[in-house]
């Protein structure tokens, strides 16, 4: 993905504010029950990239990198990857992408970019746990936390969803990842973005 495309992605606050038609998630869950390595994600950026950089996850840290082998792990609705992993990930099935686009339509966009995308995910949302992401400078750090602990940390924004049970046809969903927020005056504050 070109650096300029990543830099045009909405911030977390912009994506959350623009994601108005949330009922679309229940329509997507039966589709994702059939593709258990993938989840719906809220498309957003955590920092601005410099020319030649891409966001690459290694372990629990995602940060801008210029070199090294990386594999797509998150895709826009166009099928264009916007985040990568240093380890091999599952390839995005064309059939999943086509069906996904048939369901999301034209709603829920920010800056002309669909706010929902697809993420390859190994975590399946088990045992009352959730992935919590926080930004430190240009790094995003993910921890696996108890749901109750996450709620005690303050406001969070859900950023990734998959079927609550992986039975084909399931329409119940669960958030499997969220971003911790700093809120001032009822508004999400972008910190450490650039």
Q: What is the pTM of this model?
A: 0.85
Bridge-based pairing state of the strands 173-180 and 129-136: parallel
Cβ atoms 19, 42 nearer than 8 A: yes
- The percentage of the chain sitting over the pLDDT mark of 70, rounded to a whole number, equals 77
pLDDT of residue 52: 92
pLDDT tens per residue, range 51-85: 999 999 999 899 999 988 999 999 999 999 999 99
Closest by CA to 174, choosing from 137, 111, 124, is 124
- Categorize the per-residue pLDDT at 124 as very low, low, confident or very high, splitting at 50, 70 and 90: low
State residue 24 phi and psi, 5-degree precision: -60, -25
Find tokens 């995003």 and name the residue: 140
Task: Give dist(CA 56, CA 124) in Å, integer.
Answer: 21
Q: How many Cα atoms sit within 13 Å of 88 on the Cβ side? A: 1
pLDDT (tens digit, 9 = 90+) per residue, 1-32? Answer: 568 889 999 988 889 889 888 889 888 988 98
Between β-strands 54-58 and 81-85, what pairing exists: parallel, antiparallel or unpaired?
Answer: parallel
The two three-digit tokens of residue 48, written as one number: 């601005």
């Amino acid at each position: 993905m070109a650096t300029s495309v990543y830099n045009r992605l909405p911030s977390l606050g912009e994506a959350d504010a623009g994601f108005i038609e949330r009922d679309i998630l229940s329509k997507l869950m039966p589709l994702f029950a059939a593709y258990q390595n993938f989840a719906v994600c809220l498309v957003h950026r955590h920092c601005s990239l410099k020319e030649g950089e891409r966001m690459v996850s290694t372990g629990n840290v995602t940060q801008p990198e210029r070199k090294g082998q990386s594999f797509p792990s998150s895709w826009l609705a166009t099928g264009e990857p916007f985040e990568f992993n240093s380890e091999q990930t599952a390839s995005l099935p064309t059939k999943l992408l086509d069906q996904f686009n048939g369901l999301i339509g034209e709603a829920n966009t920010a800056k002309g970019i669909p706010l929902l995308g697809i993420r390859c995910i190994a975590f399946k949302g088990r045992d009352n746990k959730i992935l919590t992401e926080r930004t430190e400078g240009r790094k995003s750090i993910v921890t696996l936390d108890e749901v109750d602990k996450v709620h005690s940390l303050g406001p969070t924004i859900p950023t990734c969803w998959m079927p609550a049970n992986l039975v084909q046809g399931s329409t119940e969903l669960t958030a499997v990842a969220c971003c911790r927020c700093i809120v001032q005056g009822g508004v999400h504050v972008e910190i450490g973005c650039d």
